[in-house]
A and B are shown apart, each in its own frame.
Chain A
Amino acid sequence: MTTTVPRTSARVSEAGGSAARGPGHRRRHPDRPPYEAEPGPVAKTAKTTALTVIVLAVLVPLWTVVVTSLSTQAAINDAGGLVLVPGELTVKAYTDIIRGGVVTRAVGVSVLVTAVGTALSLAVAILTAYGLSRPGSLGHRPILFMLLITMFFGAGMIPTYLVVAGLGLIDSLWALILPTAVSAFNILIMRNFFMNIDRGILDSARIDGASEWRILGQMVLPLSKAVIAVVGLFYGVAYWNAFFNAVLYINDSAKWPLQLVLRSYVLQGQAVPGTTFDPSSLDGGQTAGLAIQMAVVVLAMVPVLIVYPFVQKHFSSGVMIGAIKG
């Protein structure tokens, strides 16, 4: 790079000169590489428009859902459905939900399953990833192979269902955790990260007599906060969002997680079986229910929105590079 400096600096002054000539032109971007010409107004507008459209395509739907959940019935009637421009606001939908009880119970189930599931999966993943991370350790190849196979060949829905049913887990919340507790992909991300930790430090600790448990707990884990955060997010989001496991294994609607209640209310437009709280038949009919339906959508999004910013910054770090490779 340094050898090219004279040539590029010549180009900089040239490009800078041309940019300086037009008084209406914006200052040349400091990060723009010297060889790159300042884009013309058409290209610039096209690019800005494309990026704006992409960002709005994500944000506008989320915005109208949140606004609708906070709108009064009158505001929803005025809009004829989803509200884009906030009018009269209220938190009635949320207080109704809390009074109705069905949704709060479902939130409780989802929180419980997510918390226990994530803790269990993360613990299993950390232990496995470390247990498989030392090249040449006794028996690690067959175990690794056993794990890898599950990435290429799934057992299939029917036999898995029969095993879960055979264990008596139907209508048990463990059915929402145990069958999906192991993700080979997540474990491999973590193993990859552990294997890139400088082995010299770990080996010298081992020679000094530290046990494997101590090395894992006191040396490896403190170095691995980023990968634990990311894998924890992956597991947490998977448990929180899972809905089909509950369709399969949970017949008792009192144990339904939030996603299933959401499906009932919004996509099927009906009450949860065995309950009377039905958003679409509340006073005012369809539209009064809309605020409640959207409030349930918001509730289902909130945990993700809370955790996401804290973990998101690790996506760009080395963690994801292991993830890509799998």
Chain B
Amino acid sequence: MTAAPQAARRRERAAAPAPQVPTSPRRKRPMRARLREDYPLLLMCLPVVILLAVFMYAPMLGNVIAWMDYSPYVGILGSDFVGWWNFQRVVADPRFWHAVQNTLIITGFQLVFFFPVPIAMAILLNSVLTKRVRTAIQSIVYLPHFFSWVIVVSIFQQILGGAGLVNQFLRSRGLEAVEIMTNPDTFLLLITSQQVWKDAGWGMIVFLAALSTVDRSQYEAAAVDGAGAWRRIWHVTLPALRPVIILLLILRLGDALTVGFEQLILQRDAVGAGAAEVLDTFVYYSGIVYGDWSYAAAAGLIKGTVSLILVLGANKIAHVFGEAGVYQR
């Protein structure tokens, strides 16, 4: 994978400045001629521009209610500006910081206990020699990614819940039943294992693609030098995966404030806000459920802004380390 997209990127980069360099006559052509030539392309982009304007950019402007005392009865035009009042309330609210704390704990925990799983699985699967077996396993483990969170949580509840398969087994052995689905203390473990079940297989796809491009002669050279299977993984496989690992790490860090919203909101009732309240659920409950619109918008805006800074920062760090990073056109 590393080679292919890099080649693609190089091609793209080579293609992007093309209008300036070799076809510079194009540049000089009058606007009207360019418009006549390119208007079908612009027309094709019209639907997306309209959809983005209405459902992305209008709401972005709608964030102005974070500086208002918004009431749905009088609308945006009738509501008063209140300056930074809502932001001050958010920052002074211990429930907000509790949600931040939960979010960061979940992100950190999953970084350690989810992130490496697809890498390990990809290396394991890559060592399977028979192609048919490999493809069959791949098709099976990708599958849960395509099930909804409602299905995944339902299945987990039926297996680990009070009347579930595991407790059935424990009771039949005369052991005490364990309550996993509603226990706040083990919630972190529960949601991480749900994520592993749903997405670890799919997460492999990137790493498998990267592994398929590793030059075999490197392994051979390492083997000739006396490196065993484990040392070949350490000195050849992992370095080959490094760019992908860093790229995904950046994406994850940029998303540090976003943790499985649907997954958590489905289980918040069962386990309680103490363990399951994250920033997104906090915004949902304060705004839509309790109707404090401006307050929730302010909290959401803080989250969005910090996330943006995180992505840009993480990307910057990647560039410093000489990696491609997420975006560079």
Contacts and interface: CB of A to CB of B under 8 A. Distances in A.
Contact of B26 (A57, A136, A162): A136
Contacts of A316: 135, 138, 208-209
A195 B41 contact: no
Secondary structure at the B interface, as helix, strand, loop or mixed, is helix
B124 interface: yes
A79 interface: yes
Interface in B56-79: 56-63, 65, 72
A308 B61 CA distance: 39
Contact of B205 (A211, A308, A315): A315
B62 A8 contact: no
A80 B168 contact: yes
B165 interface: yes
A155 B60 contact: yes
Interface string B212-223: 000011011001
B146 to A, nearest CB: 5
Contacts of B26: 136
Contacts of A138: 31, 34-35, 37-39, 41-42
Contact of B8 (A29, A64, A321): A321
A27 B130 CA distance: 13
Interface in B171-221: 171-172, 197, 201, 205-206, 208-209, 216-217, 219-220
Given A33-B219, A154-B304, A156-B297, A320 B209 contact: yes
Interface stretch (A17-25, A89-97, A122-130): A122-130
Interface of B: 1, 4-5, 8-9, 11-12, 15-16, 18-19, 23, 26, 31, 34-35, 37-45, 47-49, 51-52, 54-63, 65, 72, 121, 124-125, 127-131, 135, 137-144, 146-151, 153-155, 157-159, 163-165, 168, 171-172, 197, 201, 205-206, 208-209, 216-217, 219-220, 223-224, 229, 244, 247, 254, 261-262, 265-266, 269-270, 280, 283-284, 287-288, 293, 296-297, 300-301, 303-304, 307-308, 311-312, 326-327
Interface of A: 1, 4, 7-8, 29, 31-37, 39, 43, 47, 50-51, 54-55, 57-59, 61-62, 64-65, 68, 79-82, 84, 123-124, 127-128, 130-132, 134-140, 143, 146-148, 150, 152-164, 167, 178-179, 181-182, 187, 192, 195-196, 199, 211-213, 216, 233, 237, 240-244, 247-248, 259-260, 262-263, 266-268, 286, 293-294, 297, 300-301, 304-305, 308-309, 312, 315-316, 318, 320-322, 324-326
6 contacts: A29-B130, A31-B131, A128-B48, A143-B49, A300-B150, A315-B142
